[in-house]
Amino acid sequence: MTLDYRDIVFPEDSEFLVTGGAGFIGSNLCEALLLMGYRVRCLDDLSTGKIQNIEPFMKKTGFQFIKGDIKTFSVCDEACKNVDFVLHQAAWGSVPRSIDLPVFYAENNIIGTVNMLEAARKNHVRKFVYASSSSVYGDEPSLPKKEGIEGKRLSPYAVTKFVNEEYAEQYTKHYGLDTYGLRYFNVFGRRQNPDGAYAAVIPRFIKSLLCNEIPTINGDGMQSRDFTYIDNVIQANLLACKASSEFAGDVYNIAFGGREYLNDLFDTLCKLLGKDVAAHHGPARKGDIRHSNADISRAKECLGYEPEYDFSRGIRESINWYKENL
């Protein structure tokens, strides 16, 4: 059984705030909610998000863009006024970049999130759904990854996401704010940036192959990932907004529940794109988890999560998008 997120219904006058709304995941959330007929407020400082991602929405009725920084509480407070649901995606990602910039990551990802939690509490937001990460599992070796069985975090980025979960739980416990943490597992799909030193693996590989370049695989390529198509993530965010308060203050794995090795990913992309090339192998990245595969039973049971897209279907959708948009 799968679930189309378009079938999830809210009151007609619902207003959503999407932080990081000009980014990859945030812009997809904005687009989905606008197409479903809801009002959307997008908060982004454009430090990693791109104005091009939201330009198509700028003239739409019910869309508002606020250029602002979540590190400034007054910005968060103003953005939360008269909002029903907060989908907090704003953060700086990338494990290796966090190792280079630990202080900034603490300020942006932790202080920024606490500002958003406080603003949501102050403005009586109904549900606060926030992006966490599979990186929280750290060096815990068991598979599949299950909430409550975490190891030592391997990067400053992972630490910021773990601390966010702790703060969110406190806001549910002490202030009655319904918070739901979504531990994303390697999300991919349309609008994911293929460029730069910190680009995610799938868009980077696709762009390289489309441009007849040879991509580099970090390490031996035997790392495994539970790649999760963007539409599954949209579904999870909307379901969390509908979830019972009894499930607030907790975290949920959001993935498909599959497992793909990077070498196999590369071979699949070569096959789908009609390329006959061998990848280069470079050094392994510091702070990377070796294997990642999710147990999604808690999200299914508590949120009603039923991912619609498996890896095979999602990768085909992604290739088609990059062919048309690169």
The DSSP code sequence of 126-154 is SEEEEEEEGGGGTT---SSB-TT------
Q: What percent of the chain has pLDDT over 70?
A: 99
Q: Choose from 189-198, 211-220, 286-295, 305-314 the range with maximum mean pLDDT.
A: 305-314
Domain count, the chain: 1
Residue 157 annotated among the catalytic residues of the structure: yes
- Average pLDDT of the segment spanning 222-248: 97
C-alpha distances out from residue 24 to 17, 203, 265, 269, 295, Å: 16, 12, 21, 21, 24
CATH number for the domain including 173?
3.40.50.720
- Asked if residue 145 is part of any domain, the answer here is yes
pLDDT value at 287 more than 90: no
- Asked if residue 24 is part of any domain, the answer here is yes
Give this prediction's pTM: 0.96
Report the C-alpha gap between 123 and 130 in whole angstroms. 17
- Asked if residue 324 is part of any domain, the answer here is no
pLDDT value at 248 more than 70: yes
pLDDT of residue 284: 87
pLDDT of residue 202: 95
* Structure confidence by residue, pLDDT tens digits, 139-154: 999 999 999 999 999 9
* Whole-number average pLDDT of the chain: 95
pLDDT of residue 200: 87
* Structure confidence by residue, pLDDT tens digits, 157-210: 999 999 999 999 999 999 999 999 999 999 999 999 998 766 789 999 999 999
**Which of the pair, 184 or 285, is modelled with greater confidence?**
184
Domain of residue 153 covers 12-185+230-255+294-309
CB 32 within 8 A of CB 266: no
- Helix ranges (H only) for 36-72 are 51-54
Count of CB atoms situated within 10 Å of the CB of 217: 19
pLDDT of residue 198: 66
Q: Quote the Cα angle for 161-167-169, to 5°.
A: 105
End-to-end alpha carbon distance in the chain:
34
**Residue 290: which pLDDT band, with cuts at 50, 70 and 90?**
confident
- Asked if residue 132 is part of any domain, the answer here is yes
- Asked if residue 204 is part of any domain, the answer here is no
- Average pLDDT of the segment spanning 43-51: 97
CB 57 within 8 A of CB 10: no
- Asked if residue 106 is part of any domain, the answer here is yes
How far from chain centre, in Å, is Cα 29?
A: 10
- Asked if residue 243 is part of any domain, the answer here is yes
In this structure, what are the phi and psi dihedrals at residue 310, rounded to the nearest 5 degrees? -85, 180
Report the C-alpha gap between 194 and 208 in whole angstroms. 9
**Residue 326: which pLDDT band, with cuts at 50, 70 and 90?**
confident
C-alpha distances out from residue 180 to 6, 8, 30, 295, Å: 20, 17, 19, 17
- Asked if residue 138 is part of any domain, the answer here is yes
Query: Annotated catalytic residue: which of 5, 157, 252, 305?
Result: 157
| Cβ neighbours for 148, distance < 8 A, ≥ 6 positions apart | none
Count of CB atoms situated within 10 Å of the CB of 90: 30
CB 322 within 8 A of CB 191: no
